[in-house]
């Protein structure tokens, strides 16, 4: 009985954790942002979610945002590396590559 309660509690905690903090990977590929192999210019996530920005191009990319809800600068990093950002406040964040300004996406954080 005791072990069943523990398992149930554990399952609830896992479910709560999964629902509250999703993770997404956005690739930097051919000087665009891509999600699941498709160019993405707008994306909706929930507050608390994490976005991993992974450089798939053979040259360096930068990722930054100067938006009100999130200001960050991940610097420049080469092919194969990724850096992550937790978007903890709701609102809209414009995410860009400073090196290649045509790389621009809008993240709506709900």
Binding interface with other proteins (CB under 8 A): 31, 58-60, 62, 64, 66, 73, 75-76, 78, 96, 98-102
- The C-alpha atoms of residue 53 and residue 24 are separated, in whole angstroms, by 9
Closer of 49 and 57 to other proteins (Cβ): 57
* Nearest distance, CB of residue 42 and other proteins, angstroms: 19
Of 59, 58, 97, the closest CA to residue 75 belongs to 97
State how far the Cα of 89 lies from the Cα of 48, in Å rounded to an integer. Answer: 7
Note whether 27 and 59 are within 8 A (CB): no
Q: Which is nearer to other proteins, 44 or 71 (CB)?
A: 71
Closer Cβ to other proteins, 47 or 82, answer by number: 82
Contact 15, 4 (CB under 8 A): no
Work out how close the CB of 27 gets to other proteins at its nearest, in angstroms, rounded to a whole number: 18
Q: What whole-number distance in Å separates Cα of residue 60 and Cα of residue 44?
A: 26
As given in the structure block, the two tokens for residue 75 are: 């610097």
CB of 15 to other proteins, least distance (A): 39
CB of 86 to other proteins, least distance (A): 20
Nearer to other proteins, 26 or 61 (CB): 61
């Amino acid at each position: 009985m005791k072990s069943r309660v523990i398992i149930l509690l554990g399952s609830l905690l896992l479910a709560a954790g999964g629902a509250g903090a999703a993770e997404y990977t956005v690739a930097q590929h051919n000087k665009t942002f891509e999600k699941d192999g498709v160019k993405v210019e707008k994306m909706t996530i929930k507050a608390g979610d994490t976005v991993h920005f992974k450089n798939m191009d053979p040259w360096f990319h930068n990722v930054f945002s100067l938006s009100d809800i999130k200001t960050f600068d991940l610097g420049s990093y080469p092919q194969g590396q990724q850096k992550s950002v937790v978007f903890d406040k709701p609102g809209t964040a414009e995410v860009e590559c400073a090196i290649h300004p045509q790389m621009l996406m809008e993240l709506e954080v709900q």
